[in-house]
Amino acid sequence: MVKTKFITFEGIDGAGKSSHLSWFAEMLRARGARVTVTREPGGTHLGEIWREQLLRDKMTTESQALLMFASRSEHLDQVIRPSLARGDWVICDRFTDATYAYQGSGHGVSTDLIDTLATWLHSDCMPDVTLLFDVSVETARRRLLSEGRSPDRFESEQGDFMQRVRDAYLALAASDPQRYRIIDGARTKEDIREKLVDLIEELFPL
């Protein structure tokens, strides 16, 4: 019996997380896993309301960080812990690493504070595997523009904000190579899926 796993997808806006997430879940299901797919911020009734506000409304960095954790608390309580407890795999589009990268490195919230909130909320429930879709800020921006997507508040941040977010993700990955798998997001979607198939075979051997 393969142990169920909590898997998170991370990376800057436009890195390719959503392009592969449902497919990844389907591949796991095809191997017999029960899978819950979810996202942050969001994933619950309150979380989705807060997500809309976070992406749309101007607010202080402190409010952003606290709302992210409020949303995470609901999400852990209502979705992540119950799903893992009943034997589902959980695939989550962004989790606490995004708070370190965006609110921490991007906006200057202290790592100590994020550590404290993360430990308080989910020291018992950490991702087993984190896929970091790594791509240059230029490539990600070009992809989002060609998609015709209007930028949300994080995407429209100015200056080197997104570069700091990318660098923070790479530093997180370097600090925990056991948990992180870096996916070269500049490769074609087909190439990326080949890599993901290898990973799925490793995580869920038949």
Ligand X SMILES: Nc1ncnc2c1ncn2[C@@H]1O[C@H](COP(=O)(O)OP(=O)(O)OP(=O)(O)O)[C@@H](O)[C@H]1O
Closest CB 126 distance from ligand X, rounded Å: 21
Contact partner, 143, from Mg ion, ligand X, none, Cβ < 5-8 Å per class: ligand X
Contact partner, 19, from Mg ion, ligand X, none, Cβ < 5-8 Å per class: ligand X
Contact residues: ligand X, CB under 6 A: 11, 13-19, 133, 143-144, 147, 185, 187-189, 192
Nearer to Mg ion, 11 or 104 (CB): 11
Q: Which residue's structure tokens are 């997001």?
A: 185
Nearer to ligand X, 77 or 191 (CB): 191
**Is the N-terminal amide bond of 41 cis, ω within 30° of 0?**
yes
- Is 122:177 a contact under the CB 8 Å cutoff? no
Closest CB 164 distance from ligand X, rounded Å: 16
Alpha helices in 57-179 (DSSP H): 61-75, 81-85, 96-98, 111-122, 137-146, 161-175
Reading across the β-sheet that carries 180-184, which strands appear in turn?
A: 35-39, 89-93, 6-10, 129-134, 180-184
Nearer to ligand X, 17 or 51 (CB): 17
Residue 18 makes contact with Mg ion by CB under 5 A: yes
Binding site for Mg ion (CB under 5 A): 17-18
